[in-house]
Amino acid sequence: MKLASVILDIPTQALDAPYTYAVPADGGDGDQPVEVGCAVLVPFGGRRAVGFVVALEERAEGNWPEGLDPAKLKGIVRAVSRPYFDEEGAACAQWLSERYLAPLSSCVRLFTPPGGVPRMVRSREGFWRLEEPAVGEVDDRWVMPGPAFAEFTPRKNAVKQASIVEALRAGELRVAELAAEFGAVSGPLKTLEKQGVVRVERRRRMRGMQQDESQGEQPASFTPSAKPPLTAGQAAALAAIDAARERAAGEVVLVDGVTGSGKTEVYLQAIEATLAAGRTACVLVPEISLTPQTVGRFRGRFGDTVAVMHSRMSQGERFDQWDFIRSGQARVVVGARSALFTPLANLGLIVIDEEHEGSYKQDSAPRYHARDVAVWMARRAGAAVVLGSATPSIESLHACAKDPTWHQVALPERANGKPLPEVRVIDMAKEFSSGSRSMFSGALSRALAEELSAGRKAVLLLNQRGFAKFLLCRECGFVPECPSCSTSLTFHERGNFLICHHCGYRISAPAVCPECGSPYLKKFGAGTQRVEADLRVLLDETPSVGPQVPIVRMDADTTSGKGAHQRLLEEFAAADAAVLLGTQMIAKGLDFEDVTLVGVINADTMLKLPDYRAAERTFALVEQVAGRAGRAELPGRVLVQTYEADAAPIRAAAAYDRALFLRDELPKRKLLRYPPYVRMANVLVWGASEEAVRHSAEALREGVAAQVRDFGGQEWDVLPASPCVLAKLRGTYRWHFVVKCPLNGNLSSVLLPFFRARKPERDVNVAVDVDPDDLL
């Protein structure tokens, strides 16, 4: 008898293991065979459920798995999809579930196509039914006359067959067109096809592409983009990657290259060598860096064998790209972190660009880090991992120093031989004390005038969208706050409203204080809208610049629409002189030759956050955005405005001196026991009742502490439970506590049995974030 291990598509920790079902000898009710990776319909309790097959095995009579009663064994009803993943995907899902303490079904879901999975839904009457996938292939099946078409005479009662044959006399038609005219035509078409009367040909159309475009078939006229000569540093990096790939042991190469050092060209040539060896490559890029400019470089080198996956695509477009990868025609996948889980066969190289980025950490179950998953996958597949960054994460630098399978290669110079732009730190406290009240220092105002009047471009960074961070009544001190989140509302001048950037709560801005009626409401803290308004005034009042210079603002508000990101970048590129103003999304991945000035409006926005990575993120952001200037023949300059001019992260970024930053940061991390010296788990507890959340968090902390005492070690810590920094979010109260263990400690093996055995509470939710990226 053939047995199947099935993970039920029900996201709960209670279902912590696959269930065993018998595979019917005839395959079940449907035409699709039961295979590893396919979705199946199975009986579960008093109803049916969808599950995913993760293993199949043959068992002889009497040779049953321990604890299995064959009399009680239920059978699979039928398969309801083609396979989504193979045995390796199933193994990865199991590993993710155990390492990140996540429900098995959530981990398996990572490997399925967006919107392309059938599911069980409950009707208002309480009945369960199978709902077909929300998206699928575009039905571009074409019907054309077959060899027996001319001699065919349909039976008198075969009305649909006769209608189809008559319609085809005018020429070939789509199945969808026949169905629209005659209703369900699948049965008649199958009959006619068996008799040779018609031929049905599938012509796959990819959403998001022009009708005459194909993907996966390299046109004969395709010419790859030219390969520039490599610098000595690039050649050394490429040699290190090739050697790691040939050793096929899952080794990691950290390409530590300054901005403009040509890391992307190293990736391209490493991928070319991987493809020549008959293997495939996956390239991960932060979501905000997935610009048409970035994708274009890979398509320019590898043509239509490149698949792209990111969240700005529609669900249908993502399904098409996923299916294109499954077909085996895609050889290179470029995408955000979820691209790791696409069905790319024979993987030989994984590239993670801007590896320090926090967006590689998933913030919902399973809370995986793409870097760690990539290393696990590479070791299983005999592939290599390439991490690239101008500001590598402290964890990656530490691994290179301690782990012999991690290798660091430096690219200290720009590929074009040009120097890095000079960075000048401007102390805004001194500007304020001298009487200036402008958000633009005198030096930045003069630099903008000089560069723009010369027909060049500038980039201004402020990591805060909106017009002002908050309103404050100058009479009574009242600040409008979100009723669902423990945060003040952000003022937006366009539309004159207040909004919570966490939950979306929105109200009209009051004309007077709701508490005391005072009209003196002060707008504190500048957002990108406010900077844009003040910058427009500044430029209009500068005779050498004038109102003709466009200001292109890029933040979450202006890029929410589909295609907005690309449209704004094209607008900036097309202008002779322009200012690109935005949040951190403009700090990386942009390569414009005529940008000669970068200004950081306020470098302190992240520096004082109550999080252990605040200094590291500030250092990385300043150095990354500085790299947008002077990338070609024109020299660049960078002006960093700050009220913390003596802060080590800012001084170090201005001097391109990572050693200075690490000398300040690492002793603090070691003393306070933060990564890279320990591993951590952040246990989050939330719910609608503040008292219930507090009680549950404290009880849970005591239980975890007892578990750690019994199965951990002396160097393990369980910190007290306390409210999160953002103590209320979207109407729920939030508490947390942190578990710390040595680097070689196995967090998951200690915590997993405790949380799997724990009974869920009705009104309180619990999640465990293993290796958290922040503690906010």
More confident: 240 or 478? 240
Instruction: For residue 235, give the 3-state DSSP assignment.
Output: helix
Residue that finishes a domain, picked among 628, 645, 668:
668
Q: Are residues 261 and 360 in the same domain?
A: yes
Give me the DSSP letters along 443-455: HHHHHHHHHHHTT
Instruction: For residue 583, give the 3-state DSSP assignment.
Output: coil
Q: How far, in Å, CA of 379 to CA of 247, rounded?
A: 11
Of the candidates 171, 417, 208, which has an alpha carbon nearest to the alpha carbon of residue 323?
Answer: 208
**Is the pLDDT reported for residue 99 higher than 50?**
yes
Q: What is the pLDDT of residue 221?
A: 56
Supply φ then ψ for residue 74, to 5 degrees.
Answer: -95, 155
**Is the pLDDT reported for residue 272 higher than 60?**
yes
Give yes or no for a contact between 728 and 660, defined as CB atoms under 8 angstroms apart: no
In residues, how long is the chain? 776
Question: Domain of 492?
Answer: 466-525
**Is the pLDDT reported for residue 169 higher than 60?**
yes
Q: Are residues 278 and 159 in the same domain?
A: no
CA distances (Å), origin 353, targets 236, 389, 393: 18, 6, 12
336-340, 511-515, 590-594, 639-643: which range is least confident on average? Answer: 590-594
21 domain residue, yes or no: yes
Q: What is the mean pLDDT of residues 543-564?
A: 81
More confident: 627 or 15? 627
Summarize the annotated binding site as residue ranges. Answer: 473, 476, 482, 485, 500, 503, 513, 516
Q: Are residues 539 and 441 in the same domain?
A: yes
Q: Are residues 576 and 433 in the same domain?
A: yes
220 domain residue, yes or no: no
Give yes or no for a contact between 462 and 526, defined as CB atoms under 8 angstroms apart: yes
Q: How far, in Å, CA of 38 to CA of 56, rounded?
A: 11
Q: Are residues 659 and 686 in the same domain?
A: no
Q: Are residues 433 and 356 in the same domain?
A: no
Q: What is the mean pLDDT of residues 182-203?
A: 87
**DSSP H or E segment with residue 554:** strand 551-554
- Domain CATH code at residue 741: 3.30.70.600
- Domain CATH code at residue 376: 3.40.50.300
More confident: 313 or 105? 105
More confident: 596 or 632? 596
What is the number of domains present in the chain? Answer: 6
532 domain residue, yes or no: yes
Q: What is the mean pLDDT of residues 521-525?
A: 73
Q: Are residues 531 and 521 in the same domain?
A: no
Q: How far, in Å, CA of 157 to CA of 159, rounded?
A: 6
Give yes or no for a contact between 201 and 370, defined as CB atoms under 8 angstroms apart: no
Give yes or no for a contact between 409 and 236, defined as CB atoms under 8 angstroms apart: yes
**Is the pLDDT reported for residue 458 higher than 70?**
yes
Summarize the annotated binding site for Zn(2+) as residue ranges. Answer: 473, 476, 482, 485, 500, 503, 513, 516
Q: What is the pLDDT of residue 275?
A: 97
- Domain CATH code at residue 71: 3.40.1440.60
**DSSP H or E segment with residue 766:** strand 764-770
Q: What is the mean pLDDT of residues 704-728?
A: 91
511 domain residue, yes or no: yes
> Do you find a cis peptide bond into 547, omega within 30 degrees of 0?
no
Mean pLDDT of the chain: 88
Q: What is the mean pLDDT of residues 314-337?
A: 92
Q: Are residues 501 and 555 in the same domain?
A: no
Q: Which of 207-211, 269-273, 753-757 has the highest mean pLDDT?
A: 269-273
11-25, 258-272, 376-390, 467-481: which range is least confident on average? Answer: 467-481
What is the band of 394 on the pLDDT scale with cuts at 50, 70, 90?
Answer: very high
Q: What is the mean pLDDT of residues 513-540?
A: 83
What is the band of 211 on the pLDDT scale with cuts at 50, 70, 90?
Answer: very low
Residue that finishes a domain, picked among 108, 131, 154:
131
Q: Return the ∠ at Cα 119 (arms to 114 and 124), rounded to 5°.
A: 130
223 domain residue, yes or no: no
**Is the pLDDT reported for residue 564 higher than 50?**
yes
Q: What is the pLDDT of residue 525?
A: 64
Compute the radius of gyration of the chain from its Cα atoms: 30
454 domain residue, yes or no: yes
- pLDDT tens-digit profile of 735-744? 999 999 999 9
| Start-end of H helices in 303-390 | 315-326, 370-381
Residue that finishes a domain, picked among 106, 131, 156:
131
- pLDDT tens-digit profile of 369-388? 999 999 999 999 999 999 99
Instruction: For residue 308, give the 3-state DSSP assignment.
Output: strand
527-541, 579-593, 700-714: which range is least confident on average? Answer: 579-593
Read off the pTM: 0.85
Q: Are residues 710 and 697 in the same domain?
A: yes
Q: Are residues 388 and 444 in the same domain?
A: no
What is the band of 294 on the pLDDT scale with cuts at 50, 70, 90?
Answer: confident
What burial class does residue 621 get, using C-beta atoms within 10 Å of its C-beta: 0-12 exposed, 13-18 middle, 19+ buried? buried
Instruction: For residue 764, give the 3-state DSSP assignment.
Output: strand
Q: What is the pLDDT of residue 314?
A: 83
673 domain residue, yes or no: no
Q: What is the pLDDT of residue 212?
A: 39
**Is the pLDDT reported for residue 230 higher than 90?**
yes
**Is the pLDDT reported for residue 50 higher than 60?**
yes
Q: What is the pLDDT of residue 45?
A: 84
User: Do β-strands 497-499 and 457-461 pair in parallel, antiparallel, or remain unpaired?
Assistant: unpaired
Q: What is the pLDDT of residue 210?
A: 44
17-21, 61-65, 180-184, 236-240: which range is least confident on average? Answer: 61-65
Q: Are residues 750 and 711 in the same domain?
A: yes
More confident: 297 or 522? 297
What is the band of 367 on the pLDDT scale with cuts at 50, 70, 90?
Answer: very high
Non-local CB neighbours of 560 within 8 Å, separated by 6+ positions: none
**Is the pLDDT reported for residue 524 higher than 70?**
no
**Is the pLDDT reported for residue 575 higher than 50?**
yes
Q: Are residues 277 and 383 in the same domain?
A: yes
| C-alpha dihedral sign at 528, 258, 350, 386 | negative
The token pair at 255 is: 């390409």
- As a whole-number percent, the residues of the chain with pLDDT over 90 amount to 49
Q: What is the mean pLDDT of residues 5-24?
A: 85
222 domain residue, yes or no: no
One-letter amino acid at 416 equals N
CA distances (Å), origin 675, targets 397, 672, 718, 774: 12, 9, 15, 11
472-481, 550-559, 582-591, 761-770: which range is least confident on average? Answer: 582-591
